[in-house]
Structure 1
């Protein structure tokens, strides 16, 4: 029986997650994510898929973030008609996130076509439309955690809680007939133990191969205690002087809800009651409603808090939801006393761009970067100390204070990745994906050193690498890029 795994995305980079399983002629995708970053990265999404979409039998989606789900509408537009298996909450979030992505695609195409028209160039089409999203949503199959499901003959999957965002999953895959059965575990994006709202990532003991993310494979996050202390210091300093605004570029799913929860828990200690907190993101507002509707997936601390405070939901108190464009624009005329949570999390789109345009030049304002910033994004430029940003054609000096809060990350750091891996028996081989090269090298070195466990046979995937799964736990490559 032929069983292969080909790596077609998030190879030596963080976005664009996509991996192709071939089980005796049946082709199944693990994720189908959008490539994010600068303009050149975004243009790569327009390139044809490196496979025939009409020959894909099914997709297994780890979670709703756009770098994992964002090209599903394009896949359907290209001829894919099969089922998309994912957690129930992920299906609900994809309905929100993919619609928003379609709207952004339309607006980007509209702006580009105005420029092209001036140069007598043919207009371009958006990557996909809201109608394409409507079609793709009909192909989702909603699963629960710990539910075993046959995806195609000789391939069974089970989703386990990854603790990254609502509905995020570690994917267990059993493939082949009983006498040749192999088990691959795809980490998806791994969350962190002890973080608010969600349960910790599931620990798994058995695998013949581990396909593991490595976003923060070369660094350690600040402890949760130190992170809270750092946030308290920032808010105390700004609120005490009662001038300027605080901007928090935030991913609309996961980070925004985490911030709302923290602002509820620490409103008194951080003296937040003196300032107006605004969630300025229609998508984050819809995603928060999905979170509220999936109470059963929250961790015990969240449930206990809610039981003790009936009628006071920790994601819905102390915050103004800013839904319309007019409401958002009104905030630009307020120069002090605002805490604004807005997307996009990497500052490369959405309403945060307007708020940065109106606040970056103000030395009394603060910008709190609280998530991963891909290479080439405005958020990454701010983290790297840029003296100015170009926003809507204007050069804006960066006079505001820029704070990078790594401890809020929803991704496991090096120690947490190693700890998750250590729970596997017999040190199965590891293929690293979803990380920049230096982060992957750092994690691979720690895996190979061994320490508390035997050295691990690990490799860093390159685009187009194809692995023979029938030979596991040996890593036998059918083809490699180098």
Structure 2
């Protein structure tokens, strides 16, 4: 039977990376990520697996970001007993990130269940707990870059530096006798590809002359300015100084992994050089504190991380907060501080508290850094929403909202094309994943214009689609009767998820509009008339 490849995540959307390769009676997963973004996508994390976890032989992780690794504990909890194979850098990060993810889920579910009990609704179980995550860590094994290792009989793999975050990798897999003529089938899963001139990572690398490439397309159609480190720090200094001149705090939502460390390195250098004043810098994330220690250890060992100094995170004004009490004390600071907190897309964590405390202040600044997935609070702020709901409260957006993409961990449109050219020729098929429809469409159109070498056969898979890889080109296989009867996303939900704006977003916006209309009414009589109109529409 020909090898096949199924796309159980990052298909038509940016998160939930999970690809299942079947070959020679064996099954392996490349990535096992959590869906992030709007609630329609998040609900996929709670649904049953579209395959039997006990039938998987191995899991290979491209990197430690939760949208690529975050469902590993759920997989183990469901009966998976094989290895979780990653680079040393990824393994070191996962030892902090997966338990943190489990703890966040426990906390959020506990909060939800308190609301559900008051509303007479059922109790929700977390996808997994911190203990589940710690148990899953026992199955992690590490492998070096650019070194072949056997995954299972007839399948071997090796990691290539992807230049995205510490430990990030593209995964090359060779399937013995995987083609129609009996030759090995060579596949490459890009993972997330890093940009040029990244603050702490080397440029991405990879093999050439492949049969199948599965390629991320996050920034398809979106070129960025090419800045060297000095230019990058100058742009950051301009934003920091403008925010401090406004008199309020500078709040920066930043992922605890890589993005925070990059910012700290550049802020420390700017302070040392006199580019910005020495002001308090709060890193309000216990996870970011631990991850910064991991980076420092790898820097000392020259283990795949680069920096202009061996101590890039040192600075007298830098303060890591670990406890809730320390975090709450930051709320007393109303100006003149830089506050960095996770999550980077403002979807969870302590950043939401700092946004509640600062968004309504006209002298405050929120600096968005990197990609904001559709449907996230970060994207709503980026798109100019003047009021948002955070933890059930309506918050007016009066702060200055600024956007920088110079710290993105992803290659831009031109860099993606350069990376793909260096992997050629791609003989049988190119799959575009990990991107919204516009990004995928732009990248696909650019590749289609290639003349030399000829453009490969290109495919944009949908969620849970399965392809045969044994012929001249990948071929879509028919879905099973069970999959047709109970798809994880129906047609309408898929359209919502791809648009990044589902009915939950519409509901939140409607509630804000109702509250605004009621407040704008001059008399209670006008308010009652408005409510009665709504009741008539609802048939009450």
Q: CA deviation at 1:124?
A: 1.5
Q: CA deviation at 1:464?
A: 2.4
Alignment partner, residue 70 of structure 2 = 70
Alignment of 1:110-149 (within 5 A): 110-149=110-149
Matched, 1:235 2:240: yes
Q: Deviations over 1:90-127 (max 9, x none)?
A: 11111111111111111111111112212333311111
> Given that residues 213 and 426 in structure 2 are in contact (C-alpha distance below 8 angstroms), is that contact kept between their aligned partners in structure 1?
no
Q: Distance in 1 between matches of 2:451 and 2:290?
A: 45
Q: Distance in 2 between matches of 1:464 and 1:280?
A: 38
Q: Which has the larger radius of gyration?
A: 2
Alignment partner, residue 217 of structure 1 = 220
> Given that residues 7 and 461 in structure 1 are in contact (C-alpha distance below 8 angstroms), is that contact kept between their aligned partners in structure 2?
yes
SS in 1 for 2:409: coil
Q: Structure 2 stretches of 5 or more lacking a match?
A: 485-490, 492-540
SS in 1 for 2:432: strand
Q: CA deviation at 1:193?
A: 1.7
Alignment partner, residue 290 of structure 1 = 294
> Given that residues 235 and 270 in structure 1 are in contact (C-alpha distance below 8 angstroms), is that contact kept between their aligned partners in structure 2?
no
Q: Distance in 1 between matches of 2:304 and 2:269?
A: 16
Q: Distance in 2 between matches of 1:123 and 1:137?
A: 28
Alignment partner, residue 15 of structure 1 = 15
Q: CA deviation at 1:203?
A: 3.7
Q: CA deviation at 1:320?
A: 1.0
Q: CA deviation at 1:426?
A: 2.5
> Given that residues 298 and 305 in structure 2 are in contact (C-alpha distance below 8 angstroms), is that contact kept between their aligned partners in structure 1?
no
> Given that residues 164 and 193 in structure 2 are in contact (C-alpha distance below 8 angstroms), is that contact kept between their aligned partners in structure 1?
yes
> Given that residues 15 and 36 in structure 1 are in contact (C-alpha distance below 8 angstroms), is that contact kept between their aligned partners in structure 2?
yes
Alignment partner, residue 100 of structure 1 = 100
Alignment partner, residue 244 of structure 1 = 248
More moved, 152-161 vs 112-121: 112-121
Alignment partner, residue 189 of structure 2 = 186
Count of matched residue pairs: 472
Alignment partner, residue 270 of structure 2 = 266
Alignment partner, residue 309 of structure 1 = none
> Given that residues 239 and 275 in structure 1 are in contact (C-alpha distance below 8 angstroms), is that contact kept between their aligned partners in structure 2?
no
Q: Deviations over 1:429-455 (max 9, x none)?
A: 310010001100000000000166433
SS in 1 for 2:223: coil
Alignment partner, residue 281 of structure 2 = 277
Q: Structure 1 stretches of 5 or more lacking a match?
A: 307-312
Q: Deviations over 1:196-237 (max 9, x none)?
A: 111110142121111100001111122225654432221222
> Given that residues 167 and 304 in structure 2 are in contact (C-alpha distance below 8 angstroms), is that contact kept between their aligned partners in structure 1?
no
Q: Distance in 1 between matches of 2:203 and 2:141?
A: 25
Q: CA deviation at 1:298?
A: 4.0
Matched, 1:326 2:325: yes
Alignment partner, residue 84 of structure 1 = 84
Q: CA deviation at 1:396?
A: 1.1
Q: CA deviation at 1:25?
A: 1.7
Alignment partner, residue 415 of structure 2 = 416
Q: CA deviation at 1:268?
A: 4.2
Q: Distance in 1 between matches of 2:49 and 2:259?
A: 30
Q: Deviations over 1:126-151 (max 9, x none)?
A: 11012211221011111111121111
Alignment partner, residue 440 of structure 1 = 440
Q: Distance in 2 between matches of 1:79 and 1:220?
A: 43
Alignment of 1:316-355 (within 5 A): 316-318=314-316, 319-355=318-354
CA RMSD of aligned residues (A): 1.8
Q: CA deviation at 1:23?
A: 1.2
Alignment partner, residue 389 of structure 1 = 388
Q: CA deviation at 1:269?
A: 4.8
Normalised by the size of structure 1, how large is the TM-score? 0.94
Alignment partner, residue 363 of structure 1 = 362
> Given that residues 249 and 335 in structure 2 are in contact (C-alpha distance below 8 angstroms), is that contact kept between their aligned partners in structure 1?
yes
Q: Distance in 2 between matches of 1:268 and 1:389?
A: 37
Alignment of 1:51-66 (within 5 A): 51-66=51-66
Normalised by the size of structure 2, how large is the TM-score? 0.84
Q: Distance in 2 between matches of 1:23 and 1:9?
A: 20
Q: Distance in 1 between matches of 2:269 and 2:44?
A: 42
